[in-house]
């Protein structure tokens, strides 16, 4: 890979007066289409992009460092703030890595609820991506449709976890609480009505001449390049690579669900759109199956060394009081070892590497965030294209800066 250009490139030979006279333009960190605080230093020749130099880190909060001073459960709220458009999915991803370290398997009901959480997160994240992505390209109508549906999902998430954005729903060994009464019926209503909305969105965009012209052939990347750049998620699948961690390395019982992995062919912005649209349909399928098979029983493991005892017992029994005190003050001690566990988050492979030195907090926690890795490819996708196409490229890559900067 060629080294990136300097911020102030030397003036080129001016043989051709129209071409070769480059200009450096700064885009971001607060630009409406960068979806957060992404800064791109562009070298332009007229409207053609000659070089892109991304600058990230504006939202860095030092999460990996913070984790080194916390118990495993205390870090869950921080994961909400990674990909803040799919907090439930981050909660599950992190806690599965901790449970792999501790060799814990959650009861079936807890697993099914986690699957529901992941798929709700995927739908809401894709809805936001579709709404804002279309808005960036001038299709404002889509935004209102997607946000109406997203609102329904957020109300469901709110009644489930108590928070709309900061869900912090998972705990080591299970979940913070069981489903509220009547919740499954509400989710059933949503999965019943949502496919119709998807058809509407489909009819608004998929054969829309303007949308097709703005996205087809834009930001194209080959499967070979995408793999070399470690891309994952819908952006990789749009290149025709049928890779989905829910199929290849199933977790939380995903192997028992029936769903398809949609793939694209061209690897352009249009295919990334189609893949995400179809993924929402598949998520609805998974949600329906999860609702049908939701078993009774506890949502968390019943082990006083891992999960908190029932509050009524804590107030009336000495033993449970001690157990709660020990768990809160001492935390859960991990064994010596290192684990990496990844899930198929809405943006791609979200992995947590945990190095444990036998303490109650990780010695090192490393977050493999899909947005960070996928964003590397922006150079490959944008160079040679037009400046206005860069908007479509960013939108179709769907980076979330909370996850990029951590």
Partner 1 sequence: MEGPFIEPQPPHALVDRLGERFPGAVLEVAEFRGELTVVVPKEKIVEIALFLRDDPWTAFDMLTVVTGIHFLQRDHDFEVLYHLYSLSKNHRLRLKIYLREGETVDSVTSVWPGANWPEREAYDLVGVRFHGHPDLRRIIMPEDYTDHPLRRDFDVEGGPSEVRPGGRRASPGFRDMESV
Strand intervals (E) in 22-117:
22-27, 39-45, 48-55
Give the residue with the Cβ less far from partner 1, 39 or 285. 39
Determine which residue in the list 101, 115, 118, 153 makes contact with partner 1, applying CB under 8 A.
101
Q: Residue 156 to residues 162, 191, 192: CA-CA distances in angstroms? A: 10, 12, 14
Determine which residue in the list 249, 321, 383, 387 makes contact with partner 1, applying CB under 8 A.
249
Give the residue with the Cβ less far from partner 1, 40 or 130. 40
Cα 90 from Cα 400, distance rounded (Å): 13
Q: How far is the CB of 323 from partner 1 (least distance, A)?
A: 16
Instruction: Report residue 3: phi and psi, to 5°.
Output: -65, 145
Does residue 394 touch partner 1 according to CB under 8 A? no
Strand intervals (E) in 109-183:
170-171, 174-175
Q: Which two tokens stand for residue 314?
A: 């804590």
Does residue 65 touch partner 1 according to CB under 8 A? yes
Does residue 353 touch partner 1 according to CB under 8 A? yes
Give the residue with the Cβ less far from partner 1, 247 or 281. 247
Q: Which two tokens stand for residue 224?
A: 């070979």
Residue of 258, 278, 230, 251 whose CA lies nearest to 126: 278
Q: How far is the CB of 337 from partner 1 (least distance, A)?
A: 4
Give the residue with the Cβ less far from partner 1, 19 or 55. 55
Determine which residue in the list 9, 12, 32, 62 makes contact with partner 1, applying CB under 8 A.
62
Does residue 159 touch partner 1 according to CB under 8 A? no
Give the residue with the Cβ less far from partner 1, 162 or 250. 250
Does residue 56 touch partner 1 according to CB under 8 A? yes
CB neighbour list of residue 27: distance below 8 Å, 6 or more residues apart: 34, 39, 40, 41, 42, 390
Q: Which of the stretches 41-49, 127-135, 222-230, 282-290 binds partner 1 when contact is defined by CB under 8 A? A: 222-230
CB count within 10 Å of CB 174 equals 27
Question: Could you say which residues in the range 321-340 bind partner 1, by CB under 8 A?
Answer: 337-340
Give the residue with the Cβ less far from partner 1, 373 or 393. 373
Residue of 148, 128, 174 whose CA lies nearest to 303: 174
Residue of 118, 144, 119 whose CA lies nearest to 132: 144
Question: Could you say which residues in the range 255-314 bind partner 1, by CB under 8 A?
Answer: 301-303
Determine which residue in the list 15, 103, 181, 207 makes contact with partner 1, applying CB under 8 A.
103
Give the residue with the Cβ less far from partner 1, 2 or 10. 2
Q: Which two tokens stand for residue 185?
A: 């019926």
Integer Rg of the chain from CA: 23
Instruction: Report residue 373: phi and psi, to 5°.
Output: -70, -45
Question: For partner 1, how many residues bind (rule: CB under 8 A)?
Answer: 49
Q: Which of the stretches 78-86, 129-137, 266-274, 349-357 binds partner 1 when contact is defined by CB under 8 A? A: 349-357
Give the residue with the Cβ less far from partner 1, 19 or 224. 224
Q: With beta carbons less than 8 A apart as the criterion, state whether 70 and 55 touch.
A: no
Give the residue with the Cβ less far from partner 1, 96 or 277. 96
Q: Residue 187 to residues 117, 153, 245, 311: CA-CA distances in angstroms? A: 11, 8, 25, 28
Does residue 405 touch partner 1 according to CB under 8 A? yes
Q: Name the residues that contact partner 1, by CB under 8 A.
A: 1-4, 56-57, 60, 62, 64-65, 69, 100-101, 103-107, 227-231, 241, 243, 248-249, 301-303, 337-340, 342, 349, 351, 353, 355, 363-364, 366, 368, 372-373, 375-376, 405-406
């Amino acid at each position: 890979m060629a080294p990136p250009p300097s911020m102030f490139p030397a003036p080129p030979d001016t043989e051709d007066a129209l071409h070769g006279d480059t200009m450096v333009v700064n885009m971001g960190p607060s630009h409406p289409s960068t979806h957060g605080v992404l800064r791109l230093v562009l070298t332009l020749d007229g409207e053609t992009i000659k070089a892109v130099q991304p600058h990230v880190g504006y939202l860095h909060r030092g999460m990996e460092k913070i984790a080194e001073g916390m118990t495993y459960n205390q870090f869950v709220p921080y994961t909400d703030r990674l990909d803040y458009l799919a907090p439930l999915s981050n909660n599950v991803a992190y806690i599965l890595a901790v449970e792999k370290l501790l060799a814990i398997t959650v009861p079936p009901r807890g697993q099914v609820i986690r699957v529901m959480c992941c798929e709700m997160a995927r739908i809401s994240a894709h809805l936001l991506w579709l709404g804002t992505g279309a808005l960036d390209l001038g299709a404002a109508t889509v935004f209102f449709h997607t946000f109406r549906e997203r609102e329904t999902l957020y109300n469901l998430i709110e009644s489930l976890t108590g928070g709309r954005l900061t869900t912090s729903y998972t705990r080591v060994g299970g979940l913070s609480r069981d489903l509220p009464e009547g919740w499954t019926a509400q989710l059933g209503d949503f999965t019943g009505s949502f496919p119709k909305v998807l058809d509407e969105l489909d009819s608004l965009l998929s054969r829309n001449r303007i949308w097709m012209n703005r996205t087809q052939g834009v930001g194209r990347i080959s499967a070979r390049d995408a793999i070399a750049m470690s891309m994952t998620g819908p952006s990789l699948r749009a290149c025709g690579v049928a890779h989905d961690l829910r199929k290849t390395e199933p977790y939380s019982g995903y192997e028992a669900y029936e769903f398809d992995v949609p793939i694209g062919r061209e690897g352009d912005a249009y295919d990334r759109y189609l893949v995400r649209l179809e993924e929402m349909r598949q998520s609805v399928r998974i949600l329906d199956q999860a609702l049908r098979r939701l078993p009774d029983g506890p949502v968390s493991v019943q082990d006083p060394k891992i999960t908190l005892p029932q509050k009524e017992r804590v107030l009336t029994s000495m033993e449970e009081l001690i157990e709660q005190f020990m768990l809160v003050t001492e935390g859960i001690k991990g064994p010596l070892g290192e684990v990496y566990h990844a899930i198929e988050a809405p943006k791609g492979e979200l992995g947590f590497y945990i190095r444990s030195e036998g303490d109650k907090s990780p010695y090192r926690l490393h977050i493999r965030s899909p947005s960070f890795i996928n964003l590397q490819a922006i150079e490959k996708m944008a160079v040679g294209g037009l400046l206005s196409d860069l908007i479509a490229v960013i939108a179709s890559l769907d980076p979330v800066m909370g996850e990029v900067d951590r």
